């Protein structure tokens, strides 16, 4: 019975060009709406990068380190061309964005990774190039949603 109903429906009058265009427009709008849905952000929990991690993963070099809050444990290391966060015991590598603001020792304020991007900004208004200042770290996912942020201290050196 269901098959007969489907066959009879197929024998109905042909759709006008305007009706077909309207159906196509609705279908396109549905696909676009589905593509624009952002999944909820998945917060990350960067671990402090200890000297053993620097040795193990060969993360040596001149640059800056960000430690959240009043912690002494840096969760971010920035270099001239790369930056690292430690997630689940493994370093996640980010490439520098040379179009972003310059920070001391050839580092930059923005780095981009495969699945995330990060920004390191000064939270004081001092324009001098100093080796230690208050900063803010912001990490976003591919949908530009915040997955980590913290205020803390930035320290630069070789």
How many angstroms separate the CA atoms of 54 and 24, rounded? Answer: 56
The percent of residues in the chain predicted with pLDDT above 70, rounded, is: 89
The whole-chain average pLDDT of the chain stands at: 89
Q: Return the minimum-mean-pLDDT range out of 4-13, 32-41, 108-117, 136-145.
A: 4-13
* Residue 124 confidence class, pLDDT cut points 50, 70, 90: confident
Q: Which domain covers residue 72, as residue numbers? A: 51-157
Task: Indicate whether 148 pLDDT > 60.
Answer: yes
Q: What is the pLDDT of residue 93?
A: 98
- Is residue 123 included in any domain, yes or no? yes
62, 79 contact by CB (below 8 A): yes
Overall number of domains in the chain: 1
Q: By three-state DSSP, how is residue 69 classified? A: coil
- Is residue 30 included in any domain, yes or no? no
Tokens standing for 118?
A: 């990060």
């Amino acid at each position: 019975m269901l098959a007969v109903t489907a066959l009879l429906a197929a024998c109905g009058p042909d759709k006008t060009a305007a009706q077909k265009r309207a159906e196509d427009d609705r279908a396109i709008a549905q696909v676009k709406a589905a593509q624009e849905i952002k999944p909820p952000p998945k917060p990350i929990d960067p671990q402090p990068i200890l000297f053993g991690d620097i040795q193990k993963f060969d993360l040596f070099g001149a640059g800056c380190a960000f430690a959240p809050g009043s912690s002494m444990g840096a969760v971010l290391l920035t270099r001239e061309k790369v930056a690292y966060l430690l997630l689940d015991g493994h370093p996640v590598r980010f490439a520098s964005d040379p179009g972003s603001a310059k920070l001391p020792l050839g580092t930059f304020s923005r780095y981009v990774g495969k699945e995330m991007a990060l920004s390191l900004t000064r939270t004081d208004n001092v324009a001098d190039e100093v080796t230690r200042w208050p900063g803010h770290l912001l990490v976003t996912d591919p949908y530009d949603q915040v997955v980590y942020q913290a205020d803390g201290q930035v320290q630069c050196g070789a």
